[in-house]
């Protein structure tokens, strides 16, 4: 099998700046790279979709390159630098409180310096059957020895585990003390003490938590034997504690002070927003957490009374490690592009090919600093935050619900299969880890199979339909991304008279939402051309570009993606939907998510408000056409997939005009209604049915305005009949008026 994959160190770059590309080849000695400007997607053959347009730009980096395979370093762990004190230990104790999730998932390291590749060091581990064990490395002529408790640990139960070595008695003690409160099956403490045939040979390397160091490759460490589950208060104590002392240590709980003879005792409730493992001893042998294990998770002392880790840090003392975590692939750079200063703002990509394998690495070019808005009065806001949340959406391929929701068989292409062939690409925030827990962090610092201009019409592939329409309709439009909006706030949007959304701007950080709101309050115009927008509150990682955090607290219908913790580890903010924290999307765009269905899309029917003089510009040139968008690439209509409606109770302005609404959606849309009451049809024939998409217009302070279509499928209808259709005309009418400097006025 031949496969080429890659990613970039950033998604947004200004003209004149540098962007780096990292590439891996499997089964190919060379690959070809070229930079193109993306204008339209490659989806269906014409006339179902517009012709694919990827315009060559003849960059300085175009050409052939030697191929090399770069490993995906999956699995999270903690690492403490090598210290002579660790290597000189005679008698010692390794201790930690654990909550294993895959105790029978193979040999797993909890804590220690054990290195299976070298054969030296000591480790507190779970063996392949889930039994606590002490592994003791030998020298070159002596194999390792293992002391094992006879009983395996139970999945998802807190237990204090420890192993001590008494150098004078040449013996080892191993204990497991269940800690679950209110559990009738927690069992009795277990302990054994056995003689040791030989004392351990300590490793000169680092102390590891939740993994072992297994080697080095291309100058980078390789790890293995990853632990799945939570760990709190791992400690190395410079004395052999007996069973009574270990029981006392377990009973003291995670808030205990360091043991007087502790060499290192790490409190994982500290530096929750960062990656630190803070040692509470005076020696301050601090460590670092690698590959984003889940932080701000409940520990063994959690009472359930508080869901904010900042308020009760003593109850959020654990870190959840996974053998499939990945924050940054950390591949070496293969080539770097200095973006020419004369390149137009737009969507670009590095197109990588090796034999029959291809891969796309999109990126977005903004105008040079100070040049924003000089060539265009409008900007397209690219939803890179949403792309990150969905990156490598594995459940779309493997989920049992997928075909039920879509009403048809799942179709896969060669790029989709990469996630099956290379499971190290891992998952999105819609997936579960291998141990069944929710994926709360997702990264663009890895190859992303569903961030490309080819494949099914969804996300970026679909958003290119807006880019193509803008170009064909003759509108100059520049690019701003979510990354830019998050970093710069309203200043990123200020140079433009009008901002156009993408088809699905679902994930928003506080800084992004604040920036868009401030832009509108200052007279900006906004065209919301999508559905299910501004829905989930999200956090961007401060130092890893393209890494987002999403937590869906307590939403059982979301299955494994639901979590009990209600606050982000990165920011400490309340997680969940924006509506749940008092900022529903209706306040921004006049509509909010109501339901989804992927079998069939419908058109909109114009409403009486469409004839209001305030809305006359929207339907200019349509004559008596009452139905808008009963056609399109996405299941035959402009209203569908995920749809939003107006709701005064959620903040739709009183002066907003509902100028059109969809109707007759199939009963698949009932499966995903956001509220039970939305399933109850209106008995008043004069009132619209609740499961609908609303087309809304309203004016904002400072001469601004908002136009919303409330449907992901809208832009899928733009290209119908060679862009000659009423969806394209309505969109052009609104954009033409929104870039006109003539102010709007709020009625009354």
Q: What's the CATH number where 362 sits?
A: 2.60.40.10
Q: What's the CATH number where 314 sits?
A: 2.60.120.200
Clarify whether residues 178 and 231 are in a common domain: yes
Parent domain of 44: 3-70+335-366
Examine residue 20 and state whether it is found in any structural domain, yes or no. yes
Clarify whether residues 268 and 171 are in a common domain: yes
pLDDT at residue 398 in the model: 72
Q: Which two tokens stand for residue 477?
A: 């439009």
Clarify whether residues 48 and 159 are in a common domain: no
Task: Give just the sign of the alpha carbon dihedral 215, 220, 221, 223.
Answer: negative
For 440-490, how does the pLDDT look when each residue is reduced to its tens digit (9 = 90+)? 999 999 999 999 999 888 899 999 999 999 999 999 999 999 999 999 999
Q: Kindly give the pairing relationship between strand 276-279 and strand 287-290.
A: antiparallel
Task: Give the residue among 367, 283, 269, 284 at the shortest CA–CA distance from 319.
Answer: 269
Examine residue 447 and state whether it is found in any structural domain, yes or no. no
pLDDT at residue 243 in the model: 92
Residue 340 CA to residue 18 CA, distance in Å, equals 9
pLDDT at residue 307 in the model: 86
Clarify whether residues 261 and 144 are in a common domain: yes
pLDDT at residue 139 in the model: 64
Residue 97 CA to residue 162 CA, distance in Å, equals 8
The residue behind tokens 């420890």 is: 162
Domain total for the chain?
3
Clarify whether residues 48 and 154 are in a common domain: no
pLDDT at residue 47 in the model: 72
Clarify whether residues 63 and 87 are in a common domain: no
Examine residue 300 and state whether it is found in any structural domain, yes or no. yes
**Among 321, 354, 378, residue at a domain's last position:** 321
Examine residue 371 and state whether it is found in any structural domain, yes or no. no
Examine residue 510 and state whether it is found in any structural domain, yes or no. no
Q: Is 322 helix (H, G, I), strand (E, B) or coil?
A: coil
Q: Which two tokens stand for residue 77?
A: 């762990």
pLDDT at residue 715 in the model: 96
Q: Could you please report the per-residue DSSP string of 409-470?
A: -----HHHHHHHH-GGG---TTSB-TTS-B--EEESSS--TTSSSBSSSSTHHHHHHHHHHH
For 480-509, how does the pLDDT look when each residue is reduced to its tens digit (9 = 90+)? 999 999 999 999 999 999 999 999 999 999
pLDDT at residue 197 in the model: 78
Residue 63 CA to residue 48 CA, distance in Å, equals 33
Spell out, as residue ranges, where the chain has pLDDT lower than 70. Answer: 139-143, 181-187, 399-401, 404-406, 554-561, 676-687
């Amino acid at each position: 099998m031949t496969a080429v994959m890659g990613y970039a160190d950033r998604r947004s770059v200004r003209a004149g700046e540098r962007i780096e590309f990292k590439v891996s080849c499997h089964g190919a000695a060379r690959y070809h790279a070229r930079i193109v400007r993306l204008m339209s997607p490659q989806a269906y053959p014409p006339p179902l979709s517009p012709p694919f347009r990827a315009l060559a730009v003849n960059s300085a980096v175009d050409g052939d390159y030697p191929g090399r395979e770069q490993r995906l370093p999956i699995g999270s762990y903690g690492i403490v630098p090598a210290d002579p004190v660790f290597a000189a230990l005679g008698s010692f104790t390794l201790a930690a409180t654990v909550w294993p999730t895959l105790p029978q998932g193979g040999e797993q390291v909890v804590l220690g310096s054990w290195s299976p590749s070298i054969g030296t060091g000591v480790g507190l581990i779970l063996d392949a059957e889930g039994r606590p064990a002490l592994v003791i490395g030998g020298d070159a002529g002596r194999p390792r020895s293992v002391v094992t408790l006879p009983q395996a640990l139970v999945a998802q139960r807190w237990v204090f585990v420890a192993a001590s070595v008494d150098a004078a008695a040449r013996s080892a003690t191993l204990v497991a003390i269940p800690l679950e409160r209110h559990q009738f099956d927690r069992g009795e403490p277990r302990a054994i003490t056995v003689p040791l045939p030989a004392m351990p040979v300590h490793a000169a390397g680092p102390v590891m938590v939740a993994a072992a160091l297994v080697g080095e490759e291309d100058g980078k460490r390789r790890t293995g034997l990853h632990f799945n589950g939570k760990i709190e208060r791992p400690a190395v104590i410079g004395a052999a504690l007996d069973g009574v002392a270990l029981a006392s240590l377990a009973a003291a709980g995670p808030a205990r002070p360091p043991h007087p003879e502790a060499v290192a005792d790490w409190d994982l409730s500290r530096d929750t927003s960062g990656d630190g493992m803070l040692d509470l001893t005076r020696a301050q042998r601090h460590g670092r957490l690698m590959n984003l294990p889940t932080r701000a998770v409940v520990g063994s002392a959690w009472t359930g009374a508080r869901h904010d880790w900042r308020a009760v840090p003593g109850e959020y003392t654990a870190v959840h490690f996974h053998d499939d975590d990945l924050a940054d692939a950390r591949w070496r750079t293969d080539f770097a592009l200095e973006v020419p200063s004369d390149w137009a703002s737009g969507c670009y990509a590095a197109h990588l090919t090796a034999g029959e394998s291809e891969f796309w690495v999109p990126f977005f070019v903004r105008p040079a600093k100070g040049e924003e808005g000089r060539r265009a009065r409008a900007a397209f806001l690219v939803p890179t935050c949403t792309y990150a949340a969905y990156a490598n959406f594995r459940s779309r391929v493997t989920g049992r619900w997928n075909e039920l929701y879509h009403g048809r068989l799942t179709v896969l292409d060669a790029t989709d299969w990469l996630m099956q062939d290379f499971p190290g690409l891992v998952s999105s925030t819609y997936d579960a880890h291998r141990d069944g827990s929710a994926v709360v962090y997702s990264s663009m610092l890895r190859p992303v199979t569903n961030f490309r201009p080819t494949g099914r019409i969804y996300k970026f592939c679909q958003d290119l339909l807006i880019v193509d329409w803008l170009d064909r309709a003759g509108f100059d439009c520049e690019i701003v991304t979510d990354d830019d909006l998050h970093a710069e706030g309203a200043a990123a949007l200020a140079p433009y008279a009008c901002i156009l959304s993408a088809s699905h701007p679902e994930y928003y950080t506080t800084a992004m939402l604040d920036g868009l709101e401030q832009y509108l309050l200052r007279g900006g115009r906004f065209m919301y051309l999508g559905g299910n927008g501004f829905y989930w509150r999200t956090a961007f990682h401060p130092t890893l570009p393209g890494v987002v955090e999403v937590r869906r607290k307590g939403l059982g219908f979301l299955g494994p993606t639901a979590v009990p913790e209600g606050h982000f580890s990165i920011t400490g903010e309340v997680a969940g939907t924006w509506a749940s924290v008092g900022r529903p999307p209706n306040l921004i765009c006049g509509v909010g998510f109501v339901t989804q269905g992927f079998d069939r899309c419908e058109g909109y029917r114009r409403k009486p408000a469409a004839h209001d003089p305030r809305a006359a510009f929207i339907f200019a040139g349509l004559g008596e056409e009452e139905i808008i968008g009963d056609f399109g690439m996405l299941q035959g209509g402009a209203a569908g997939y995920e749809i939003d409606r107006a709701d005064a109770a959620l903040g739709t302005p009183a002066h907003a005009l509902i100028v059109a609404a969809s109707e007759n959606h199939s009963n698949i849309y009932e499966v995903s209604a956001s509220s039970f009451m939305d399933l109850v049809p209106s008995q008043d024939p004069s009132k619209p049915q609740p499961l609908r998409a609303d087309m809304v217009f309203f004016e904002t302070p400072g001469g601004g305005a908002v136009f919303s279509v409330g449907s992901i499928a809208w832009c899928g209808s733009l290209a119908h009949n060679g862009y000659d259709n009423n969806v394209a005309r309505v969109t052009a009418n609104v954009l033409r008026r929104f870039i006109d400097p003539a102010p709007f006025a709020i009625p009354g």
